[in-house]
Amino acid sequence: MLEASKPKEYIDRKEYRERRKEFFQKHSQIAQEAMKLNYENVLSWGTVIERTVEKYSDKTAIIFEDKTLTYKEFNEWINRYAHYFISLGLKKGDVIEVMIKNRPELLIILFASSKIGAVTSLINTDLREKSLIHCFKLTPGKIIIIDEECFEVFNKVKSDLSLSEDQKLYFLTDKGRISCPEGFIDISQEVSNLPIHNPLITYDIKTLDPIGYLFTSGTTGFPKAAMVDHSLAIMIYYWYGIMLCELTPEDIMYTSLPLFHGSGLIGCIAPFGCGATIVLARKFSVSRFWDEIRKYKATAFSYVGEVCRYLMNQPPNPEDLKNSVRVVIGNGLRPEIWMDFKKRFNIPRIGEFYAAVDGNGSFANLLNFDCTVGLCATSYAIVKYDIDEDKPIRDEDGFMQKVDIGETGLCLFQSAGATQSRGYTDAKATESKLFRDVFKKGDVWFNSGDLLRDIGCDHAQFIDRLGDTFRWKGNNISTTEVEEVLNVFDQISLSTVYGVQIPHTDGRAGMAAIVPTINLENFDLKGLATSIKNNLPNYAVPLFLRFKSNLSTTATFKLKKGKLKQENINLEKIEDPLYVMLPEMSEYVHMTEEIYENIQNGRYKF
């Protein structure tokens, strides 16, 4: 059973009432507008774009490397693509699959498809082979657009996708290192001379119409495609842009997170609706981060917890305080470094939030308290959870029980009415994320899969992930997906994967407990490393291997991971052979006492 644990501090009730009153005095009208949108089902993201362009036509919308686009120019490019998609016969509900790294064209294509009601499937550009094939097949697109940077990776799996003759392939040139490949159409040339006026069809698109697929590991198996609708983009604009960050046309938002990731998109959608400027980086660089913040005079940036940890791990610099950042927005900033991060970089406001692309609820730190994911505007519950049994605790009547203030439990969001869970493309996967008869007969609640701590006044702290998913490098890792790759290796009889905590890092690193089919002396560690790297993105590669003679199971043959997780990588508790893939290495080496001590002391930069 999960033990109650006291937070460092509760939310002060008097201060909560004061801040809440001040917040609603300032934002009550916009909050009421936001709450009505889903019921009215009229406004689409395309119409928000066009309203923004009318207000801020000549203002800079986006900066990317040496490119700058005003809102007017940005919208004109969006319209060129929208008219091209219309000319191809694409209509409301049709899917466009894109595999594009960070660049303005990804936003242009996403916004263009939203104007005509098409659905953009944002393929994770870090995926490889089996996972990549799975995602393309899961959301088959009428057209597929591949970025120059992603072409080689896509080309390796192209023959396994069973593409039909009706599925057209498009190539998006970048730095011109390769010309448009045979069988592909150069989409940049196709759209260059098309009309720049707003398409009339945009007014037929509604708030609850689908806008895209974002991929999540969910809790088991390969990535799942979570359908998101226009209301998500609009709510990001209202709740995160206006109310959480209070962005204005004078703000400049720097984002270096990948745009196929929900947190990355938030860093572009929230400022866009507010008329702010977006500075888009191709990728996150810890060495260039603050230099670019200062170069562009950014007043805001988006983050995940790992980004904050990387920045804190850099040697202190007299320049740390010399920045114009007034607010940051993201998720996963751990309470233990929150105050130090805020003080070191002189950041007045931390817009922490908690949400999931497959979820139907979210928390946001609207009142600017420290060390909290904030409060939730919809119906949620944090319920008692039995870690050993890996399930919520139900009372003698079969109902779940809410935790008391200061206790930790499983977070659930009620699935009903306007907040009904949209789920995945797979109905079985959708049902697996729902609990029924939670507090009364017939009610339905979405299982977040995360442990949160109730700290009072409707506020919470994120504690950890549960079950078959853990978080590392800002990504959710499906243990089942990793196990499937391991278990097809001919020298492995059985494996189980879980996350382990290592000092000086956020999240959990992957560890695999393996039952080999041959003696360890003859085990092909090099071949296993190659097989894993060929089939998994880098962030999902297990850093640790533990070789065992057998694995314990429950009465229903579910592998037990509780004891393995508790033993972590502690050599004092583990007698089994243990191997590690150290940073900058491509093979596993035996875990010695010296290596273990170096890991504990933070000598390796995982």
Give one DSSP letter per residue of 290-302, joined into a string: HHHHHHHT-SEEE
Contact indicator for 517, 494 with CB cutoff of 8 Å: no
Question: What pLDDT, on a 0 to 100 scale, did the predictor assign at position 552?
Answer: 76
Question: What pLDDT, on a 0 to 100 scale, did the predictor assign at position 550?
Answer: 87
Residues in a beta bridge with 559: 553
At 464 the three-state DSSP class reads strand
Q: What is the mean pLDDT of residues 312-330?
A: 94
Rounded Cα gap, residues 546 and 576, in angstroms: 6
Query: Is it the case that residue 432 has pLDDT exceeding 90?
Result: no
* All domains of the chain in start order, with CATH: 42-354 (3.40.50.12780), 371-465 (2.30.38.10), 469-600 (3.30.300.30)
Question: What pLDDT, on a 0 to 100 scale, did the predictor assign at position 342?
Answer: 96
> What amino acid is encoded at 147 in this protein?
D
Rounded Cα gap, residues 118 and 202, in angstroms: 11
Contact indicator for 98, 120 with CB cutoff of 8 Å: yes
Query: Is it the case that residue 372 has pLDDT exceeding 60?
Result: yes
**Residue 314: count of CB within 10 angstroms of its CB:** 13
Q: What is the mean pLDDT of residues 205-222?
A: 81
Tokens standing for residue 186: 């150069």
Contacts of 538 (CB under 8 A, 6+ apart): 126
Question: What pLDDT, on a 0 to 100 scale, did the predictor assign at position 465?
Answer: 75
Using the CB atoms, write b or e for 445-483: b if 16+ within 10 Å: bbbbbbbbbbbbbbbbbbbebbbbbbbbbbbbbbbbbbb
Rounded Cα gap, residues 529 and 463, in angstroms: 31
Query: Is it the case that residue 5 has pLDDT exceeding 50?
Result: no
Question: What pLDDT, on a 0 to 100 scale, did the predictor assign at position 388?
Answer: 63
Nearest Cα residue to 512 out of 461, 578, 455: 578
Rounded Cα gap, residues 359 and 218, in angstroms: 10
3-state DSSP helix/strand/coil % of the chain, to nearest 5: 35, 25, 40
The dihedral formed by the CA atoms of 415, 419, 421 and 422, expressed in degrees to the nearest 10: 160
At 320 the three-state DSSP class reads helix
Contacts of 354 (CB under 8 A, 6+ apart): 331, 362, 363, 364, 373, 374, 450, 452, 460, 462
Rounded Cα gap, residues 457 and 459, in angstroms: 5
Contacts of 104 (CB under 8 A, 6+ apart): 62, 64, 67, 69, 74, 77, 280
Q: How would residue 53 be classed by pLDDT, with cut points 50, 70 and 90?
A: very high
Nearest Cα residue to 260 out of 75, 429, 361, 127: 127
Mean pLDDT computed over every residue of the chain: 91
Of the candidate ranges 8-12, 132-136, 156-160, 179-183, the one whose mean pLDDT is the lowest: 8-12
| Helices of type H across 415-561 | 427-432, 479-487, 525-535
Give the pLDDT confidence of 376-397 residue by residue, as tens digits.
988 999 999 987 677 899 999 9
Question: What pLDDT, on a 0 to 100 scale, did the predictor assign at position 221?
Answer: 61
Query: Is it the case that residue 476 has pLDDT exceeding 90?
Result: no
The dihedral formed by the CA atoms of 498, 502, 508 and 511, expressed in degrees to the nearest 10: -30
DSSP secondary structure code for residue 238 in this structure: I
**Residue 577: count of CB within 10 angstroms of its CB:** 15
Give the pLDDT confidence of 75-90 residue by residue, as tens digits.
999 999 999 999 999 9
Give the pLDDT confidence of 585-594 residue by residue, as tens digits.
889 999 999 9
- How far does Cα 145 stand from its chain's mean position? 22
Rounded Cα gap, residues 514 and 66, in angstroms: 49
Rounded Cα gap, residues 578 and 512, in angstroms: 10
Nearest Cα residue to 330 out of 350, 356, 310: 350
Contact indicator for 517, 492 with CB cutoff of 8 Å: yes
Question: What pLDDT, on a 0 to 100 scale, did the predictor assign at position 344?
Answer: 96
Tokens standing for residue 320: 């740390």
Q: How would residue 471 be classed by pLDDT, with cut points 50, 70 and 90?
A: confident
Give the pLDDT confidence of 509-539 residue by residue, as tens digits.
999 999 999 999 999 999 999 999 998 888 9
Give the pLDDT confidence of 342-360 residue by residue, as tens digits.
999 999 999 999 987 778 8
Using the CB atoms, write b or e for 6-38: b if 16+ within 10 Å: ebeeebeeeebeebeeeeeeebeeebeebeebb
Question: What pLDDT, on a 0 to 100 scale, did the predictor assign at position 250?
Answer: 97
**35 compared with 371, residue with greater pLDDT:** 371
Give the pLDDT confidence of 114-150 residue by residue, as tens digits.
999 999 999 999 888 888 999 999 999 999 999 999 9
Nearest Cα residue to 292 out of 305, 274, 311, 273: 311
Please give the model's pTM, rounded to 2 decimal places. 0.84
Contact indicator for 438, 412 with CB cutoff of 8 Å: yes
Question: What pLDDT, on a 0 to 100 scale, did the predictor assign at position 357?
Answer: 76
Nearest Cα residue to 362 out of 274, 271, 477, 462: 462
